[in-house]
């Protein structure tokens, strides 16, 4: 029998699982609530990806076994890192205790300071650890950061810019979300270890770096990805409850 812990619902025969709902930092929870009820919908270009991702989560999610999703963009500095953070927070928000999001790039650079600001703005705690990874292609410093969204520190992560195949990421049985056109075309047709590859392009907020609307555009992209994650997981949640 398929077993699932969602929204406090324990199905017959299921063992206790760690309950994540209510453990995200209050500011993050409030923000997720606000963007899930603000009346804005996901872009039409993402509807196919939403159906594909919800379907594969329903097919592969098993309590007690991690289902991994890697978001891939070119530099692993903006969309993929913000997307992984919003994915993890959304998974906790919906009670998916065994769904984890990671990030990677095709040409790693560094966790961009603008991305850090956008995540901190809604309550993520992001602090440098003092350690550094390999510099980016322009010799950018590439620090390790502790990224926290839950009160239970055991569920949080170390984030930095890395190749999608970095040993810190899952090596097999993961779902690959290609969040930029460049990464989608730069990656091989088959990503080794992925059970599913889904194209999910978002515009790069980098285009607004140094402009007056820079902060607003990073926040906008963060929320665009967040709405996608929240609504997709809500669909998967409902389908799993009736499975």
What's the pLDDT score for residue 135? Answer: 86
Q: Could you read off the pLDDT tens digit of each residue along the chain, which spans 243 residues?
A: 333 333 333 333 333 333 556 789 999 999 999 999 999 999 999 999 999 999 999 999 998 999 999 999 999 999 999 999 999 999 999 999 899 999 999 999 999 999 999 999 999 999 999 999 988 788 889 999 999 999 876 678 999 999 999 999 999 999 999 998 776 777 666 789 999 999 999 999 999 999 999 999 999 999 999 999 999 999 999 999 887
What's the pLDDT score for residue 15? Answer: 36
Helix/strand/coil (H/E/C) assignment for every residue in 51-72: HHHHHHHHHHCECCECEEEEEE
What range defines the domain where residue 235 resides?
Answer: 20-31+44-201+211-241
Q: Is residue 9 part of a domain?
A: no
Token digits of residue 98:
């065994």
Neighbours of 164 (CB within 10 A): 26
Find where tokens 């299921």 sit. Answer: 14
Q: Is residue 113 part of a domain?
A: yes
CB burial string 93-110: b at 16+ within 10 A, e below = bbbbbbbbbbbbbbbbbb
Q: Is residue 39 part of a domain?
A: no
Rg over alpha carbons for the chain, rounded to the nearest Å, is 17
Q: Is residue 224 part of a domain?
A: yes
Total of domains in the chain: 1
Q: What's the CATH number where 80 sits?
A: 3.40.50.2300
Q: Give CA–CA dist 87/31, Å, rounded.
A: 13
Find where tokens 């590439």 sit. Answer: 142
Q: Is residue 223 part of a domain?
A: yes
Q: Is residue 172 part of a domain?
A: yes
Query: Nearest to residue 6, comparing CAs of 99, 71, 102, 86?
Result: 99
Q: Is residue 186 part of a domain?
A: yes
User: 161 phi and psi, to 5 degrees?
Assistant: -80, 130
Instruction: Kindly tell me the sign of the dihedral angle through the C-alpha atoms of 206, 207, 212, 216.
Output: negative
Strands 194-199 and 174-178: parallel
What's the pLDDT score for residue 32? Answer: 96
What's the pLDDT score for residue 154? Answer: 66
């Amino acid at each position: 029998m398929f077993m699932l812990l969602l929204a406090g619902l324990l199905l017959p025969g299921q063992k206790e699982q760690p309950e994540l709902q209510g453990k995200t930092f209050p500011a993050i929870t409030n923000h997720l609530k606000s963007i899930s009820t603000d009346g804005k919908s996901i872009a039409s270009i993402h509807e196919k990806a939403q159906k594909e991702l919800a379907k594969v989560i329903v097919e592969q999610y098993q309590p007690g076994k991690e289902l991994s999703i890697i978001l891939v963009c070119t530099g692993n500095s903006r969309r993929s890192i913000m997307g992984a953070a919003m994915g993890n927070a959304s998974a906790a928000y919906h009670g998916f205790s065994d769904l984890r999001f990671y990030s990677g790039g095709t040409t790693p650079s560094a966790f961009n300071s603008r991305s850090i600001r956008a995540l901190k703005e809604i309550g993520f705690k992001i602090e440098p650890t003092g350690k550094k990874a390999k510099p980016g292609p322009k010799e950018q410093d590439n620090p390790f950061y502790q990224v926290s969204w839950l009160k239970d520190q055991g569920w949080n992560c170390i984030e930095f810019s890395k190749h999608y195949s970095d040993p810190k990421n899952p090596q097999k049985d993961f779902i690959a979300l290609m969040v930029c056109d460049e990464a989608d075309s730069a990656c091989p047709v088959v990503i080794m270890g992925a059970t599913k590859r889904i194209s999910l392009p978002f515009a790069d907020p980098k285009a607004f770096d140094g402009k007056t609307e820079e902060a607003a555009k990073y926040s906008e992209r963060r929320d665009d990805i967040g709405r996608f994650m929240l609504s997709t997981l809500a669909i998967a949640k409902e389908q799993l409850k009736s499975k």
